[in-house]
């Protein structure tokens, strides 16, 4: 099974959505977790994938695209559109989009310390948690030259009974 996570930065034009679809199909992804999603349905993507999206009140939420060859057992999301879970039977995939920026520091802390653990406590394990964590490893990661983008997403795999600290982590893909 091939999985990825992509922050799509609210793309909504048919041309850009077609590029996203072409990228996902050409790489033969089975599960794609999306962040900064500005749509609740998308016929272009629905032509090849099952689309589960939750934009929430801020209109920039999460989505999970699932190959039409896979059977989705259940799906659930939080009311803010920042967490969306798809259960495929033997494994659950969670797309996460954390609050960002200095003004949302307290909100981000609450998100990771309270909201995420509460949400994951209701998710069938094992869990693959992917998305835009809006976090940096060190101060140097915050500094980017104009015209460049970050390329690190963290995917955590494992049980989360003790909070986010559990499980192994690996770097993943964020953009085509």
The single residue listed with the structure tokens 């609740």 is: 40
Whether the CB-CB separation of 87 and 77 falls below 8 Å is answered with: no
Check whether 132 is labelled as a binding-site residue.
yes
Check whether 80 is labelled as a binding-site residue.
no
How do the residues of the chain divide into helix, strand and coil, expressed in percent and rounded to 5? 25, 30, 45
DSSP string spanning 16-40? HHHHHHHHHHHTT-SEEEEEEE--S
Q: Which two tokens stand for residue 92?
A: 């659950």
Whole-angstrom distance, CA of residue 27 vs CA of residue 173: 12
The single residue listed with the structure tokens 């394990």 is: 125
Check whether 87 is labelled as a binding-site residue.
no
Check whether 78 is labelled as a binding-site residue.
no
Annotated binding-site ranges for Mg(2+): 7, 36, 132, 134
Annotated binding-site ranges: 7, 36, 132, 134
């Amino acid at each position: 099974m091939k999985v990825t996570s992509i922050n799509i930065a609210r793309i909504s034009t048919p041309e850009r959505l077609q590029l996203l679809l072409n990228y996902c199909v050409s790489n033969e992804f089975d599960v794609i977790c999306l962040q900064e999603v500005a749509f609740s349905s998308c016929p272009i993507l629905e032509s090849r994938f099952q689309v589960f999206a939750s934009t929430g009140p801020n209109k920039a939420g999460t989505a999970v695209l699932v190959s039409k060859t896979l059977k989705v057992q259940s799906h659930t999301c939080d009311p803010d559109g920042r967490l969306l879970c798809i259960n495929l039977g033997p494994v659950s995939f969670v797309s996460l989009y954390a609050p960002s920026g200095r003004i949302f520091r307290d909100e981000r802390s609450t998100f990771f310390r309270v909201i995420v653990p509460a949400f994951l406590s209701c998710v069938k394990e094992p869990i693959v948690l992917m998305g835009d964590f809006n976090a940096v490893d060190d101060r140097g990661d915050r500094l980017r030259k104009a015209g460049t983008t970050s390329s690190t997403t963290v995917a955590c795999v494992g049980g989360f009974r003790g909070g986010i600290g559990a499980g192994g982590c690996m770097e993943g893909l964020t953009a085509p």
